[in-house]
């Protein structure tokens, strides 16, 4: 079936083109990348060459100059084949590029947008060993030296950390001010004192690098402050609100991939003299999966459309991430079960989709944090 029923022709063409690319270029490599825990360098080059890394970057800087909804479609289409590729493109676009779009000076945009559109991967550095859901408890320090800052500390769980060359980094210039001391910086990966540490050995999205980063007297020019000094907490909150819609798209994409695989399999699998797709119990399982997927997809699209239209979307983004991650866990689990014993082995894709789905409830704001956000808005 064609799951794309709510797009205009241009959006349909974009999704189809990205999905066709993913099927031809990513699918043959996904299990090897998963086993080796490494993104194929050629794919990252492809993502840049295809324009996937500069979707919302204005065309004068080498980007596509498209809207947020286009970014969501690209993330979904890639994730339908491999969620690791989806999240690599997601973080680069919805977190890094959007942070620069909304908060950077014209000089910073002119300096970094051409690089982010052409060949330099971005990463977003907020979490720390003792600062996860309580993001504003971060300990990384930035010392004001006049024309520059010295950054010292450690960042943890950094997606794209191994391959990235441009980093949005959050540090506190005055711990006595609490979250009002937090400041956002643009840091380059070759700045002295910056080092990449442990690469995490993860359950899912294994081709996506998740790395510890260390900063020891990293000298960052004052001109590389993103937004205003002491206003980094606003950069973080507003950017993550957008990023959660991207995670929703990742979950919708990977769930669609798992459902497609399960649907094809039950048509082929014969038991008791007939295809198991003929059994009503199997049909009902597929129907429930389809209904849950469609519901979550429309929540994600609604949040993305609201964001693109400049309307309030924080509640809708939280709901979209909450429900899409729950849906993805449900759909991929049922898909694995429909494969039977074959679903539990790596020869078939069901177990990978299942492993990849779990992170959706955890990163870019846990499900508990989404519930908090929804409740606070409900209660005024």
User: CATH number, domain at 254?
Assistant: 1.20.140.10
Structurally, the chain folds into a number of domains equal to 3
226 sits in which H/E element: strand 225-226
* Boundary-marking domain end, from 177, 201, 232: 232
Work out the end-to-end distance of the chain between its first and last CA atoms, rounded to an integer number of angstroms: 42
Is 296 found in the same domain as 341? yes
Q: Where are the alpha helices (DSSP H) in the chain?
A: 9-21, 30-36, 41-49, 68-79, 83-90, 98-103, 106-118, 232-268, 280-308, 314-338, 350-357, 367-378
Chain centroid to CA 335: how far? Answer: 23
Is 128 found in the same domain as 117? no
Structural domain includes residue 3: no
- Rounded-to-integer distance, Cα 184 and Cα 22, Å: 34
Structural domain includes residue 85: yes
Write down the pLDDT at residue 5: 60
Is 369 found in the same domain as 266? yes
Structural domain includes residue 2: no
Is 238 found in the same domain as 363? yes
Q: At what angle do helices 367-378 and 314-338 cross, to 10 degrees?
A: 140
Contact 356, 204 (CB under 8 A): yes
Is 243 found in the same domain as 185? no
364 classed as catalytic: yes
Write down the pLDDT at residue 6: 75
Instruction: Tell me the three state secondary structure of residue 265.
Output: helix
Contact 360, 251 (CB under 8 A): yes
- Rounded-to-integer distance, Cα 88 and Cα 161, Å: 10
What range does the domain containing 145 cover? 123-232
Structural domain includes residue 99: yes
Residue with tokens 């769980």: 157
Is 143 found in the same domain as 173? yes
Question: Following DSSP, what letter does each residue of 150-211 receive, concatenated?
Answer: EEEEEEEEEETTTT-SEEEEEEES-GGGGGGGEEEEEEETTSTTEEEEEEP--SS-TTS-EE
Write down the pLDDT at residue 3: 47
Is 245 found in the same domain as 210? no
Structural domain includes residue 4: no
Structural domain includes residue 182: yes
* Boundary-marking domain end, from 180, 198, 232: 232
Phi, psi (degrees; rounded to nearest 5) at 141? -110, 145
How is residue 179 written in tokens? 């979250």
Q: Other C-beta atoms within 10 Å of 41: how many?
A: 9
Structural domain includes residue 1: no
Instruction: Given the residues 163, 242, 316, 364, select the one marked as catalytic.
Output: 364
- Going by C-alpha positions, the residue among 39, 16, 290, 244 that lies closest to residue 124 is 244
Is 249 found in the same domain as 315? yes
Instruction: Tell me the three state secondary structure of residue 145.
Output: coil
CATH number of the domain bearing residue 40: 1.10.540.10
- Rounded-to-integer distance, Cα 183 and Cα 191, Å: 18
Is 162 found in the same domain as 111? no
Is 195 found in the same domain as 110? no
Structural domain includes residue 221: yes
Contact 69, 6 (CB under 8 A): no
Write down the pLDDT at residue 1: 38
Question: Following DSSP, what letter does each residue of 330-364 receive, concatenated?
Answer: HHHHHHHHHTGGGGGSTTSTHHHHHHHHGGGGTTT
* Boundary-marking domain end, from 69, 87, 121: 121
Instruction: From first to last of the 380 residues of the chain, give the pLDDT tens digit.
Output: 354 467 888 999 999 999 999 999 999 999 999 999 999 999 999 999 999 999 999 999 999 999 999 999 999 999 999 999 999 999 999 999 999 999 999 999 999 999 999 999 999 999 999 999 998 899 999 999 999 999 999 999 999 999 999 999 999 999 999 999 999 999 999 999 999 999 999 999 999 999 999 999 999 999 999 999 999 999 999 999 999 999 999 999 999 999 999 999 999 999 999 999 999 999 999 999 999 999 999 999 999 999 999 999 999 999 999 999 999 999 999 999 999 999 999 999 999 999 999 999 999 999 999 999 999 999 99
**Residue 225 pairs with which residues in a beta bridge?**
185
CATH number of the domain bearing residue 187: 2.40.110.10
Is 138 found in the same domain as 115? no
Q: C-alpha angle with apex 366: 84 to 101, nearest 5 degrees? A: 65
Is 265 found in the same domain as 309? yes
């Amino acid at each position: 079936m064609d799951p794309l029923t709510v797009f205009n022709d241009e959006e349909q063409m974009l999704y189809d083109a990205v999905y066709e690319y993913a099927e031809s270029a990513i699918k043959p490599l996904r299990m090897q990348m998963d086993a080796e825990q490494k993104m194929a360098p050629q794919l990252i080059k492809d993502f840049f060459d295809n324009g996937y890394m500069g979707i919302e970057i204005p065309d004068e800087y080498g980007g596509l100059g498209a809207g947020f909804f286009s970014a969501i479609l690209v993330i979904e289409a890639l994730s339908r084949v491999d969620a690791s590729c989806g999240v690599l493109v997601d973080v680069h676009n919805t977190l890094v590029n959007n942070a620069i779009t909304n908060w950077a000076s014209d000089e910073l945009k002119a300096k970094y947008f051409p690089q982010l559109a052409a060949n330099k991967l971005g990463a977003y550095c907020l979490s720390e060993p003792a600062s996860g859901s309580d993001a504003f408890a971060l300990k990384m320090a930035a010392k004001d030296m006049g024309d520059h800052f010295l950054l010292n500390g450690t960042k943890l769980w950094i997606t794209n950390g191994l391959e990235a060359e441009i980093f949005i980094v959050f540090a506190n210039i005055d711990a006595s001010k609490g979250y009002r001391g937090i400041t956002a910086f643009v840091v380059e990966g070759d700045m002295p004192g910056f080092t990449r540490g442990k690469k995490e050995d993860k359950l899912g999205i294994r081709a996506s690098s998740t790395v510890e980063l260390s900063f020891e007297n990293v000298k960052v020019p004052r001109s590389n402050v993103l937004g205003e000094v002491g206003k980094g907490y606003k950069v973080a909150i507003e950017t993550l609100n957008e990023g959660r819609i991207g995670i929703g798209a990742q979950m919708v994409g990977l769930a669609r991939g798992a459902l497609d695989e399960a649907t094809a399999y039950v048509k082929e699998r014969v038991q008791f003299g007939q295809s198991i797709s003929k059994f009503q119990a199997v049909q009902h399982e597929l129907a429930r999966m389809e209904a849950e997927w469609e519901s979550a997809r429309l929540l994600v699209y609604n949040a993305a459309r609201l964001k693109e239209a400049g309307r309030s979307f924080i509640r809708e983004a939280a709901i979209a991430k909450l429900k899409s991650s729950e849906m993805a866990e449900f759909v991929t689990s049922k898909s694995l079960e429909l494969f039977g014993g074959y679903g539990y082995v790596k020869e078939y894709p069901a177990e990978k989709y299942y492993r990849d789905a779990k992170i959706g409830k955890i990163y870019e704001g846990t499900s508990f944090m989404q519930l908090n956000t929804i409740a606070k808005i409900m209660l005024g």
